[in-house]
Structure 1
Amino acid sequence: MNYFYFYEVGQHFYWSILGYQVHGQVLINTWIVMFLIFVLGFSTTRDLKIIPEKGQTFIEFLTEFVRDIAKTQIGEKEYLKWVPYLGTMFLFIFVSNWSGALVPWKIIELPNGELGAPTNDINTTAGLAILTSVAYFYAGLSKRGLTYFSKYVEPIPFLLPINVLEDFTKPLSLSFRLFGNILADELVVAVLVSLVPLVVPIPLIFLGLFTSGIQALIFATLSGSYIGESMEGHH
């Protein structure tokens, strides 16, 4: 008798890759988001000028915005090399969230499941959170060497279990915060569109766009904060 059971939320369009089953609709939208970011980056940086035009002005503003986040959270000495990582996280989450709020994915029919923002799938947000965990462990070890692990027994060795648990709760909080907010926003808009399709959902869509941007900012800011903490050697 098979005592193992598998649970899932909703239906999914599965692909089999190297013997593993993956959510195909998430990969499709992830590739779309990455393509949009590539087009944005290429079109705004292929012809850089001393006096920037509209596209170059936008990308320079975005770069300065991410640099300010990195400098505030990591510090002036170490922040510069983390700008690409934080910028990638911010852009990917921002475009993913907005794609779910703006694009009517549900009109595209799939054999199972439905398209939506990549960030409304817990697998995507958990993967992003794990990347941040790897980043702050790498930052701490590269900066402090093996003395990085001394933080687990500071200020007293009795706190070792709590300090270890904290490193597990950081990615959990990052992933569930982003996943929960984006999923809830899409569900609310979908329900209201089905009930009152003309007027009521419009303000909620604009509110969803605002909260989607805020969630991208929160994720990038917290990622920078965790990286900064790991290099400083204190919580």
Structure 2
Amino acid sequence: MYQDSIDCIDNTSIFLNISSVEVGQHLYWQLGNYQVHGQVFIVTWLIVFVLLGIAFIGTRNLQRIPENSQNFMEYLLEFLQDIAKNQIGENEYRAWVPYVATIFLFILGSNWAGALIPWKLIQLPEGELAAPTNDINTTVALALMTSFAYFYAGLRKNGLGYFSRYIEPTPVLLPINILEDFTKPLSLSFRLFGNVLADELVVSVFTLLVPILIPLPVMILGLFASSIQALIFSTLSAAYIGEALEGHGEHE
């Protein structure tokens, strides 16, 4: 019994040591008992301010016949509305356009910031600046937001009857349907994180090997891939919300 207790303590300490392992150096700010990831915080707020600035410039002088920046903003809005409409449905999509649009624009801005801005030129006491989506904490937070959003959507429309979908079409599928809700945020977060990290690593390696010509096509390809990742994440988020909004009797 005593030996089992020692083994349990040893195993616990091993897991604690593993959980404290970090890849690279990071800049942390201590706020009371909590640590704030300074690198992600700085770049995230820069992206938020840039997006707010673009929105303000594009909508400050609205005209009946759109021109220049207003024309671009209206095209962008129609594009984001189409994502929500195609996945959620004609009758329900309008209330979810702000969420889907925010997710898409933030991820797109984050990915492009990592691909276009030479953050390595800015020196920090520890670590270095990078795209917020290059940090697993950011992508997991975005995925959990989507999980909360589709649970809220389903409960708001169907009440507790929303949970009957777990036993449809047969109660035998209950464990699989529950497991599906756990795999959705994992899939969303790791797909986005893995693709952004891989893109930045590829650009960094090519820059070290051939610092002038080769990285440019790779960076352009990275911008395209970053846009696709933002589209995939926002489309899947809208699809999950649309699935939750379906009547529980409609799941076949």
Q: TM-score range by the shorter chain?
A: over 0.9
2:189 corresponds to 1:189: no
Q: Distance in 2 between matches of 1:56 and 1:93?
A: 22
Counterpart secondary structure, 2:29: strand
2:56 corresponds to 1:42: yes
Counterpart secondary structure, 1:114: coil
Q: Please give the residue correspondences for 1:142-221 in structure 2 after superposition, counting only pairs within 5 Å.
A: 142-221=156-235
Structure 1 match to 2:5: none
Structure 2 match to 1:122: 136
CA displacement 1:90-135 (0-9 Å, x = unmatched)? 0000011000000000111111111011101000000000000000
1:10 to 17, 24, 45: 24
Pairwise CA distance, 1:25? 0.3
Q: Which sits farther off after the overlay, 8-17 or 173-182?
A: 8-17
Q: Distance in 1 between matches of 2:186 and 2:163?
A: 21
In terms of Rg, which structure is larger? 2
Q: Distance in 1 between matches of 2:96 and 2:107?
A: 17
Pairwise CA distance, 1:194? 1.1
Pairwise CA distance, 1:17? 2.2
Per the normalisation by structure 2, the TM-score is 0.91
Q: Distance in 1 between matches of 2:60 and 2:157?
A: 35
How many pairs does the alignment contain?
A: 235
Pairwise CA distance, 1:18? 3.4
Pairwise CA distance, 1:140? 0.3
CA displacement 1:181-227 (0-9 Å, x = unmatched)? 00000011011101110011010000000000000000000000000
Q: Distance in 1 between matches of 2:181 and 2:23?
A: 27
Structure 2 match to 1:32: 46
1:113 to 106, 127, 133: 127
Percent identity for Structure 1 against Structure 2: 64
Pairwise CA distance, 1:172? 0.5
2:218 corresponds to 1:226: no
Tell me which stretches of 4 or more aligned residues in structure 1 moved more than 6 Å. Answer: none
Q: Distance in 2 between matches of 1:26 and 1:103?
A: 15
